[in-house]
Amino acid sequence: MTSEQRLLLPPEPCQAMNAHPKEMVPATGRKAMVPSGNPAILQEKRPAELTPTKKSAHFFLEIEGFEPNPTISKTLAPIFSKPMDSNIHQCISGNCDDMDSPQSPQDDVTETPSNPNSPSANLAKEAQRRNKKRLKKRIFAAVSEGCVEEVVELLVELQEWCRQRRGMDVADFLMRELTASDTGKTCLMKALLNISHNTKEIVRILLTFAEENDILDRFINAKYTEEAYKGQTALNIAIERRQGDITAALIAAGADVNAHAKGVFFNPKYQHEGFYFGDGQKSQLHTHSTDKAGAQVHGILKYILSREIKEKPLRSLSRKFTDWAYGPVSSSLYDLTNVDTTTESSVLEIIVYNTNIDNRHEMLTVEPLHTLLHMKWKKFAKYMFFLSFCFYFIYNITLTLVSYYHPREEALPHPLSLTHKMGWLQLLGRMFVLIWAMCISVKEGIAIFLLRPSDLQSILSDAWFHFVFFIQAVLVILSVFLYLFAYKEYLAFLVLAMALGWANMLYYTRGFQSMGMYSVMIQKVILHDVLKFLFVYIVFLLGFGVALASLMEKRPKDNSCSSSYSSFSDAVLELFKLTIGLGDLNIQQNSKYPILFLFLLITYVILTFVLLLNMLIALMGETVENVSKESERIWRLQRARTILEFEKMLPEWLRSRFRMGELCKVAEEDFRLCLRINEVKWTEWKTHVSFLNEDPGPVKRTDFTKIQNLSRSNSKTTLNAFDEIDEFIETSV
């Protein structure tokens, strides 16, 4: 009989639990059910090797799929002060208490003062105090042994104690009685750590009791407080025990699926001594995401987007419908509901714009996202991209001509003075440049305002392009206004804007795959290697420049024998020449200490020319090698951002015309927008052909007035296909 079948059986008495020796408490665990007696007689002999530490280790070796580390760990294993769960009694001085059911000092608090005039009352209160002190231990023992009847009786007794409480909140009292004071473990966790065929019923009883007493949220989301297992909740344990029904019941009751187990035992650093599940309970449910330790959950997003349920009554739950198949070719319809940008917070927008997902460029390779972006690019995005490129190219050409053919006279002419030869062209050119620069500055300013700090830490976003476009536009505007007010400094801003404008043309390389991948490598090298090199190099340059300039003797300005290192600026320039191999290693006789001067020059050359430059070359080569493996996917992500940006610029009536997919009827009153994708897989070709529609062939339906009915059954073949659909292999890219 399987464990799932045992969960469905009615509760049985505690004696039946002997059939499950591995999951049950040792015989000493039943000591709490005996009202009185000698503990030494009740305690049974156990093997000497069954220590708490070894039993805890044996417990983890029994977990399905858990493999111990075959090699010896080089790091010192953590020492856990307590096992997560143990029913072994440690008898010290004749006092045998459950390890994870310790008593808090508050357990001895009496409810009412004793009456010295009534000996019988004192005896009754003393017995009552002893029963209360043992109530927590009895509850923990009952849930671990799976005794449903005793659990119910103890909870009724606990409810009676609640009614007698004075001066203390009932919820706090119940949580104290249902929780181990030193570890924070609740009796609910205790029940889940000791799975039996009655566990499901016990969990239901505990949740009902907590709900009736208004402590359900605190009880179900209580966390371990012990350092090794800190943060673990009942939901963590239910998932680890593979109890699907109990997990669903806990979530339905309000269990927090975002709680994190932060104890040392769950630290991935000690994954060979502990058990690492991920950052949280649902870390394995994140769609193809990566947690802090780098563990990936492959295929979940792919499964969700291509979920195909073959049974006809449940077909409406599918997101993929195989329309027809012939040989290795199958034509599938993917549901675009909440996937395309037609709805807010769509899957496509979340993946493209969420910079917290490191491998989102890999997620875009999953169907139907890959084909959807490709179709958007071919239908409208590439034409808008080409127009944007043409406008920016004309803008740069105009800016260059205006800068190159500006009037050479020392006295600036007024911009409205059209007496000189090229006056009209100068005026029109400056007006066009000014208007276009203002449009760019407004557009990019809004984009920068909406950026998040994480966008600046990744080349997968267009954050840096937004900044350089904005800076270039501001420089153009400043140069025009300086020219209006006859300031000669306008030329400096104009020249900088012109150089930066042509550098920004690198943005438009993403329209071509080969050039786009090359641009990705350049961005990666600049942001990760060159910036670090420049920081270290500037430190060396300034330090040695100051030192060498200080060694030079001051001479009159008219002296023809003045050294090239006489000032700080000259020294920095000469050191830069040495870095690129254009300087001379000569002894400067004008220095106070010529030998020391030469020694500093040689040291500088070794540190910069030999060490830093060669290190930069090596790092750049390694970066290019690493990026080249994923440059295509990164380029596709950058192009996806461009597609969505252009789509947002379209008016609503035009966006509806460019909408992808076919409007299909899945069931009665169930119409969905689906994207057709033809897939060819020779490895999954079977002799049996299964399909929903009998006539294969490309179908182009972009007009939403033409509705394709997937539930039609216009032939005997189509009807039979529903019975044989289970034999058809699901195909996805």
> Which of 465, 532, 456 lies closest to 504, judged by CA?
465
Look up residue 143 and give its two tokens: 């849930």
One-letter amino acid at 534 equals L
Cα–Cα distances (Å) from 146 to 8, 163, 660, in that order, read 14, 27, 57
Domain membership of residue 294 (yes or no) is: no
Using only C-alpha atoms, the chain has a radius of gyration, in whole angstroms, of 38
* Distance of alpha carbon 111 from alpha carbon 114, whole angstroms: 9
Dihedral over Cα of 446, 447, 451, 457: its sign: negative
* Distance of alpha carbon 233 from alpha carbon 223, whole angstroms: 5
pLDDT in the model for residue 393: 92
> Which one of 81-85, 109-113, 601-605, 665-669 scores highest in mean pLDDT?
601-605
Of the pLDDT bands very low, low, confident and very high (cuts 50, 70, 90), residue 595 is confident
Which of 159-168, 202-211, 417-426, 581-590 is least confident?
417-426
* Distance of alpha carbon 725 from alpha carbon 719, whole angstroms: 10
pLDDT in the model for residue 474: 92
Specify whether the CB–CB gap between 320 and 666 falls below 8 A.
no
pLDDT in the model for residue 82: 59
Burial of 407 from C-beta contacts in 10 A (0-12 / 13-18 / 19+)? middle
Residue 371 has pLDDT above 70, yes or no: yes
Domain membership of residue 321 (yes or no) is: yes
Specify whether the CB–CB gap between 627 and 521 falls below 8 A.
yes
Domain final residue pick, 591, 615, 630: 630
Chain-centroid distance, C-alpha 247: 23
**Across 127-150, average pLDDT:** 78
**Across 226-249, average pLDDT:** 83
Same domain, 621 and 723: no
By three-state DSSP, how is residue 324 classified? strand
Cα–Cα distances (Å) from 59 to 25, 140, 434, 521, in that order, read 13, 19, 74, 50
Which of 226-240, 497-511, 691-705 is least confident?
691-705
**Residue predicted with more confidence, 63 or 165:** 165
Specify whether the CB–CB gap between 144 and 87 falls below 8 A.
yes
- How many beta carbons lie within 10 A of that of residue 403, not counting itself? 18
**Residue predicted with more confidence, 551 or 1:** 551
Same domain, 336 and 232: no
Same domain, 343 and 458: no
By three-state DSSP, how is residue 323 classified? strand
Residue 419 has pLDDT above 60, yes or no: no
Q: What angle do CA 386, 391, 393 make, to 5 degrees?
A: 90
Which phi and psi (to 5°) does residue 95 adopt?
-105, 105
* Distance of alpha carbon 518 from alpha carbon 516, whole angstroms: 5
**Across 620-645, average pLDDT:** 80
pLDDT in the model for residue 335: 82
* Distance of alpha carbon 214 from alpha carbon 384, whole angstroms: 60
Same domain, 203 and 267: yes
> Which one of 45-49, 134-138, 413-417 scores highest in mean pLDDT?
134-138
Of the pLDDT bands very low, low, confident and very high (cuts 50, 70, 90), residue 559 is low
Which of 449-463, 503-517, 601-615 is least confident?
449-463
Which of 397-401, 455-459, 654-658 is least confident?
455-459
* Distance of alpha carbon 351 from alpha carbon 36, whole angstroms: 64
Domain membership of residue 293 (yes or no) is: no
Domain membership of residue 490 (yes or no) is: yes
Expressed as residue numbers, the domain containing 271 is: 3-285
By three-state DSSP, how is residue 93 classified? coil
Domain membership of residue 557 (yes or no) is: yes
Same domain, 65 and 170: yes
DSSP H or E segment with residue 163: helix 148-163
Same domain, 306 and 261: no
Burial of 682 from C-beta contacts in 10 A (0-12 / 13-18 / 19+)? exposed
Specify whether the CB–CB gap between 583 and 636 falls below 8 A.
no
Q: Which residues of 164-203 are buried (b: 16+ CB within 10 A; e: fewer)?
A: eeeeeeeeebbbebbbbbebbbbbbbbbbbbbbbbbbbbb
**Residue predicted with more confidence, 596 or 21:** 596
**Residue predicted with more confidence, 588 or 470:** 470
Cα–Cα distances (Å) from 420 to 397, 406, 425, 426, in that order, read 22, 11, 10, 10
Same domain, 88 and 183: yes
Same domain, 12 and 135: yes
**Which residues face 90 on adjacent strands?**
97
Residue 381 has pLDDT above 50, yes or no: yes
Residue 731 has pLDDT above 70, yes or no: no
Q: Give the number of residues written for the chain.
A: 733
Which of 72-86, 402-416, 573-587, 712-726 is least confident?
712-726
pLDDT in the model for residue 263: 74
> Which one of 20-34, 451-465, 566-580 scores highest in mean pLDDT?
566-580
Same domain, 539 and 676: no
pLDDT in the model for residue 18: 39
Residue 340 has pLDDT above 70, yes or no: yes
**Across 23-39, average pLDDT:** 38
Tens digits of per-residue pLDDT, 635-671? 788 888 888 888 888 888 887 788 887 777 777 777 7
At 10, which CATH number?
Answer: 1.25.40.20
Tens digits of per-residue pLDDT, 564-574? 777 787 888 88
**Across 70-94, average pLDDT:** 49
**Across 339-360, average pLDDT:** 77
Cα-Cα-Cα-Cα torsion 586, 591, 595, 600, nearest 10 degrees, comes to -70
Cα-Cα-Cα-Cα torsion 288, 294, 295, 297, nearest 10 degrees, comes to 0
> Which one of 288-297, 341-350, 550-559, 611-620 scores highest in mean pLDDT?
611-620
**Across 33-49, average pLDDT:** 38
Residue 487 has pLDDT above 70, yes or no: yes
End-to-end Cα, the chain, rounded Å: 40
**Which residues face 326 on adjacent strands?**
329
Domain final residue pick, 285, 318, 338: 285
**Residue predicted with more confidence, 442 or 638:** 442
Which of 150-164, 242-256, 397-411, 717-731 is least confident?
717-731
DSSP H or E segment with residue 332: strand 329-335
Same domain, 103 and 199: yes
Same domain, 313 and 280: no
Question: Per the structure, how many domains does the chain have?
Answer: 4
**Across 706-713, average pLDDT:** 42
Specify whether the CB–CB gap between 470 and 444 falls below 8 A.
yes
* Distance of alpha carbon 536 from alpha carbon 612, whole angstroms: 8
Considering the chain, what percentage of its residues have pLDDT values greater than 70? Answer: 63
Residue 386 has pLDDT above 70, yes or no: yes
Domain membership of residue 641 (yes or no) is: no
Residue 219 has pLDDT above 80, yes or no: yes
**Across 178-184, average pLDDT:** 82
Residue 414 has pLDDT above 80, yes or no: no
* Distance of alpha carbon 476 from alpha carbon 465, whole angstroms: 17
Same domain, 486 and 548: no
Domain membership of residue 517 (yes or no) is: no
Average pLDDT, the chain: 69
**Residue predicted with more confidence, 45 or 181:** 181
Specify the pairing of strand 95-98 against strand 662-667. Answer: unpaired
> Which of 49, 173, 164, 58 lies closest to 107, judged by CA?
173
Domain final residue pick, 511, 534, 567: 511
Domain membership of residue 648 (yes or no) is: no
Question: Residue 322 has what DSSP assignment?
Answer: E
